[in-house]
Structure 1
Amino acid sequence: MRAIALLLLLSLAACATPRQSCERAALYDLRVLDKLIRQSEQTIARGFAYRREPYERSRLDFCYGSWLGRNPAAGFTFCDWPEIRVREVPVAVDLAAERRNLAELKAKRAETERRAARTLADCAARYPAQAEAPAGAKK
């Protein structure tokens, strides 16, 4: 199942033009910084943060037969599968440190934005858009 999903994702990635791929790569760091800034602002507004904590629970399911032991059972049986889930747990945070972190992220974003603008200009120069219309197109 994972192989099919991977093939589908690769086929979708192949649909992007080289210029779109170049622009997406140029803006990746900027998108990550924007997400971190948004999370930091939300933490400051809330007054606490969330920590993701994995936990295990069991899931009861129907199984066909039991292949354990010498005499495998035929028919449907119940199976108990472990399942890992994630929950968000509120945690205390130093708001002064979080504000300093937010200021550093915003400064880093400004620097990254300038670098992304240069890279986008380079992408436009390397992969120019088609200026003329196709032969059969009406004006």
Structure 2
Amino acid sequence: MRRTLLILPLLVAACATPREQCISDVTRELRVMTGLVNETQANIQRGYAVAETQEVQTIRSTCTGTNDDGSSFTFPCEETRTIDRQVPVAIDLNAEQAKLASLQERQAQLQRAADAAVQQCVAIHPE
């Protein structure tokens, strides 16, 4: 799933017009900051954070094979699976509130810078 999420912006960027690519480039940091603000707000609303962990499981079963003469045989086999799990993590709500205020302040700065940069993209790449 993560690989798909990493490749998708590259595919979209390949189809973007020069103006769209320029706007995407100058707003990238703002989009990251907005994601962090949203995540922090969700943590405060829930009262805890959510961390992703991976759990490795080995599943034992019986597999079937075919001999050279065409006859079938069974044998014990194992399959290893990696499962992503989300687990709750305790947070300091006061620290999280302070972090949110700081992130929102930085987000406002980035928004102002992005607005000016987008106007430059529009001027450089008229459609």
1:80-119 mapped onto 2 (5 Å cutoff): 80-119=78-117
Query: 2:51 — aligned with what?
Result: 51
Moved more, 74-83 or 85-94: 74-83
Bigger share in helix: 2
Of 119, 124, 127 in structure 1, the residue corresponding to residue 125 of structure 2 is 127
Query: 2:42 — aligned with what?
Result: 42
- Give the CA RMSD over aligned residues: 3.2
Residues 45, 31 of structure 1: CA spacing in aligned structure 2 closer, same or farther, 3 A cutoff?
same
Q: Which amino acid aligns with 2:121?
A: C
TM-score by length of 2: 0.75
Is residue 49–residue 92 contact of structure 1 (8 Å, CA) maintained in 2? yes
Moved more, 90-99 or 80-89: 80-89
Q: Which amino acid aligns with 2:103?
A: L
Within 1, Cα distance between the matches of 2:40 and 2:16?
32
Question: SS where residue 14 of structure 1 aligns?
Answer: helix
Which blocks of at least 5 consecutive residues in structure 1 are unaligned?
A: 1-5, 130-139
Q: Which amino acid aligns with 1:24?
A: S
TM-score by length of 1: 0.69
Question: SS where residue 94 of structure 2 aligns?
Answer: helix
Q: Which amino acid aligns with 1:116?
A: A
Q: Once the 2 structures are TM-superposed, how far is the Cα of residue 80 of structure 1 from its aligned partner?
A: 2.0
Within 2, Cα distance between the matches of 1:30 and 1:50?
23
Q: Once the 2 structures are TM-superposed, how far is the Cα of residue 12 of structure 1 from its aligned partner?
A: 4.8
Larger C-alpha radius of gyration, 1 or 2?
1
Within 2, Cα distance between the matches of 1:7 and 1:103?
32
